[in-house]
Amino acid sequence: RHRGRDAVTVRLGQERASIPIYVLRRPGALSLASSPFLTSAVNTPLRLDIAFGGRAEARDSDGVEVRAACGRCVLSLFSTAGEPQEFGKVVSFTASIERAAALLANLTYMPEPGFVGMDEVSVAAKTL
């Protein structure tokens, strides 16, 4: 497993903080990636825009198990009705590769109220 590290910059007036974002890539059937630099204000949701897909040996209909976690936030996914569904610090689901890609593209990070500082978001996926 290869790991990359990027950061989200959070600004509040003259204060500035960085939230590390980890990009996980697994050689094999699945791939995960995230935009390298994202900016958000305090108490403002941040769409993580995670790209997820299967490589040549995986079919879109193959099942995957996905888990996303953070330390000082609430993670949300958007339902088919377009409304956010909050999950807390951990989101876990099983879906097809195609459906998982759509869900992860809309994964949203909301920092805890008033939080300014360092946090991590990690995402892991495996085929079933």
| pLDDT at 6 exceeding the cut of 60 | no
Q: Which DSSP category does 112 fall into? A: P
H-run or E-run covering 24: strand 15-25
pLDDT 10s digits, 89-119: 999 999 998 889 888 888 888 888 888 877 8
| pLDDT at 16 exceeding the cut of 60 | yes
Total structural domains within the chain? 1
Domain assignment of residue 102, given as a range: 2-127
| pLDDT at 17 exceeding the cut of 70 | no
- CA dist 118 and 124 (Å) reads 20
Stretch among 3-7, 10-14, 124-128 having the lowest mean pLDDT:
3-7
Whether 61 and 114 have beta carbons less than 8 Å apart is answered as no
pTM: 0.69
Instruction: Please tell me the predicted confidence (pLDDT) of residue 95.
Output: 92
Q: How far is CA 125 from CA 18, 82, 117, in A?
A: 25, 24, 27
Instruction: Read off the pLDDT of each residue in 69-95 and give the average, rounded to a whole number.
Output: 83
